[in-house]
Amino acid sequence: MELTWYGKTCIRLRGRDAVVVNDPYPAIVGPTGRGITGDVITFSHPDDAPLPRKGAGKLSRDGGTVIPTSLESAFVLDGPGEYEVHDVLLTGVRTYRDGSRGSELGRQTAFVANLDGIHTIHLGEIGHELTEEKLGDIGRVDIACVPIGGALSATKAAAVIAQLDPRIVVPMPLLEDDPGCEEELRKFLHEMGATPTVQPKLSVTASGLPNETTTVLLESRGKA
């Protein structure tokens, strides 16, 4: 499986049989200048500042999230549940963007995708640690994509990772050029005891997963 980060919370998972894109944002393009494509797209939460409906293109089920033109033919998931799409098993787990069950920043959905025998969780913009019930819903995790610089502090982000106990951690800085976000990323890497070098993408097989939790820092491959 190949994992690529496109900035913000946008992650693309390319497996042998299907491509899953988490949280694509409007007009996203890859390094070649072309829109990214995929078979399944998931939205953890509605756009914070959606485009006007007129001329904005296709909207997801929540009615407020714009689907990029290059992904309009993909199957859209934006809520909790268990799904099988294009031979990919996905589980959406209700989570929140703050520590008050969404009363401040709203609800969201964390998605677990099973591609090529690898379980990857995309935590969206989660703002809290996980309960035992949520951990049971999530199940085994091999790769965890965790937001940095949002409502979840670096210390709590590391605590969530400890709860999930993945083999690989992929931080997702929410505001790449913001000094505050850069500081939170530095703190998170310190909490994880990691000094990774930046790489363009992550390629991994189920048999090639590391024995101990490893942090992988990716460069943003997308732009609006």
* Nearest CA-CA partner of 19 in 31, 7, 6, 33: 6
**pLDDT at residue 28, rounded to an integer:** 82
Mean pLDDT for 189-213 is 96
**pLDDT at residue 27, rounded to an integer:** 74
From the number of C-beta atoms within 10 Å of its C-beta (0-12, 13-18, 19+), residue 169 rates as buried
What is the per-residue pLDDT across 13-31, written as a single tens digit (0 to 9) for each? 999 999 999 999 877 887 7
Domains annotated on the chain, with CATH: 2-218 (3.60.15.10)
> Mean pLDDT score of the chain, rounded to an integer?
92
Residue 191 has pLDDT above 70, yes or no: yes
Mean pLDDT for 25-52 is 80
Q: Which residues pair with 121 in a beta bridge?
A: 112, 144
Longest dimension (CA), the chain: 50
Residue for token pair 């944002």: 25
**pLDDT at residue 215, rounded to an integer:** 98
Give the whole-angstrom CA distance, residue 166 versus residue 182: 23
Residue 78 has pLDDT above 80, yes or no: yes
Higher pLDDT, 143 or 47: 143
Residue for token pair 């609800």: 107
- Which of 27-31, 65-69, 116-120, 124-128 has the least mean pLDDT? 27-31
* Nearest CA-CA partner of 11 in 95, 128, 115: 115
